[in-house]
Amino acid sequence: MTPSLRWPRTLGSRLSLIFLGGLILAQALSFGAQSYERYQSARSAMLGNLETDVSTAIAILERLPANERENWLPRLERGNYRYLLGDGEPGTPMRPDEVPIAVPSLEEAIGRDYPLTFSDIPGPRKHFQAHLKLHDGSPVTLDVTPSITPMSPWLPFVLLGQLLLMLGCVWLAVRIAVRPLTRLAHAVEHLDPNTHGVPLDETGPTEVAHAAAAFNAMQARIAAYLKERMQLLAAISHDLQTPITRMKLRAEFMDDSTEKDKLWQDLGEIEHLVREGVAYARSVHGATEASCRIDLDAFLDSLVFDYQDTGQAVELIGKNGMLIDTRPHALRRVLVNLVDNALKFAGQAQIVITTRENRRLSIQVLDRGPGIAQAELAEVLKPFYRVENSRNRSTGGTGLGLAIAQQLAIAMGGTLTLSNREGGGLCAELELDSDAS
């Protein structure tokens, strides 16, 4: 199976790949064009110098006495060619399709005056020789070793510096482009109607400022909508309290009968439902309560003693000894709802406090009641949801107790989870940061 190239998933990776690939390609094309132009220029200069130098050298050897020519050879020698007096080394005839570029230049320089023959000389470093005879019949051999166009020793360091500069520019450009999106995504992810939203900074490029302004406007509209909803529910509750009170007063003057008891019970349930509905609406805005530092052990002792004073079987297990920043009224309401739920279905409750390894504070409310079906553990945290065995007037309640606890837990920055215990019963666990606020 042939592996396929996969496009990077993150925007930063994609931008980095595009920018860096484009810059490297442009740099490679520029370097290639400059290298080719330099090669052509160096080749033209080298061949021009070769023609002039060889014609001059042969003219010098032609005019020197035969016994002095040997002494002049070192002076005429160059880096990649030298002169030999004699027929040179044995070689092979030069193939027409492998003629070096220096051969036409040599023929142009001295070929009209001196017949030239060329031969390839095998060996570790391949080179060729040009053979000619001076006018006095003395043989002269020009030994040529082709060389690659030299590269400056500092050029690789310059290329490496350019690559590092490109990497730095790409990193800076990608960071500037992606950071506003990351900040916006973080703000959206932590957008919580229960807290006072922190507006995004509206400075920066036009597009970034426009997106930040749009997010701030959306955040303000959501807050205004929720505030209006709470005010509407509070107004409805206030308006319902009056007719409910009037009906209860009228029921008081009715003759004692079964119908009077049923009417009184129905009015009580309506009043309780209205109060619970308002409590749920306010729990959405639980973060409006100011945080303060409390002694957690003393706080839980007070809560447990209040239940024990009324004869309820509530027990506290474990001590923590910590001072935490939290919203005490919201925390008390969460624990009261959980304990009341345990007492309703099990008749007793245990509060267990522990500290996790990740410094998360765990407060568990345990009971030995009937528990909740696994498929309904998440559903019971929704408002007005009740399990089948609680759908009666005496034990069913309004279905808002756990929903209120869930909303307040979120408002405090914690989590509320439900799970069934081994051996029967329910575990309601509230997790908070050790420095929860």
For residue 358, what is the DSSP state? T
Element (H, E) at 365: strand 360-366
The whole-number pLDDT of residue 177 equals: 78
The whole-number pLDDT of residue 414 equals: 84
DSSP class per residue in 19-74: HHHHHHHHHHHHHHHHHHHHHHHHHHHHHHHHHHHHHHHHHHHHHS-TTTHHHHHH
Q: In angstroms, rounded to a whole number, what is the distance separating the alpha carbons of residues 13 and 400?
A: 47
SS3 of the chain: helix, strand, coil, percent, to 5: 55, 15, 30
**Is the pLDDT reported for residue 287 higher than 70?**
no
CB 330 within 8 Å of CB 288: no
Question: pLDDT tens digits, residue range 375-386?
Answer: 888 888 877 676
> And the tokens for 150?
């030299």
Which of the residue ranges 65-74, 169-178, 251-260 has the most confident prediction, judged by mean pLDDT? 65-74
**Is the pLDDT reported for residue 140 higher than 80?**
yes
Question: How many of the other CB atoms lie within 10 Å of CB of 21?
Answer: 11
Q: What is the mean pLDDT of residues 168-189?
A: 81
CB 209 within 8 Å of CB 235: no
pLDDT confidence of 351, banded at 50, 70, 90?
A: very high
Question: pLDDT tens digits, residue range 79-95?
Answer: 788 888 888 887 777 77
- Whole-number mean pLDDT of the chain? 80
The whole-number pLDDT of residue 219 equals: 83
CB 101 within 8 Å of CB 110: no
The whole-number pLDDT of residue 1 equals: 46
Domains of the chain and CATH, by start:
11-144 (3.30.450.300), 194-288 (1.10.287.130), 290-433 (3.30.565.10)
The whole-number pLDDT of residue 167 equals: 84
Percent of the chain residues topping a pLDDT of 90: 6
The whole-number pLDDT of residue 365 equals: 92
Question: pLDDT tens digits, residue range 34-90?
Answer: 777 877 777 777 777 778 888 888 888 888 888 888 888 888 888 788 888 888 887
Residues linked to residue 84 through DSSP beta bridges, in sequence order: 141
If DSSP codes are grouped into helix, strand and coil, which group holds residue 96? helix
The whole-number pLDDT of residue 393 equals: 46
Q: Which spans in 131-257 are helix H? A: 155-189, 206-252
Least confident of 3-17, 276-290, 350-364: 276-290
> And the tokens for 248?
């209860």
**Is the pLDDT reported for residue 163 higher than 50?**
yes
**Is the pLDDT reported for residue 240 higher than 70?**
yes
Least confident of 77-81, 128-132, 194-198, 248-252: 194-198
Nearest of 397, 396, 415 to residue 405 by alpha carbon:
415
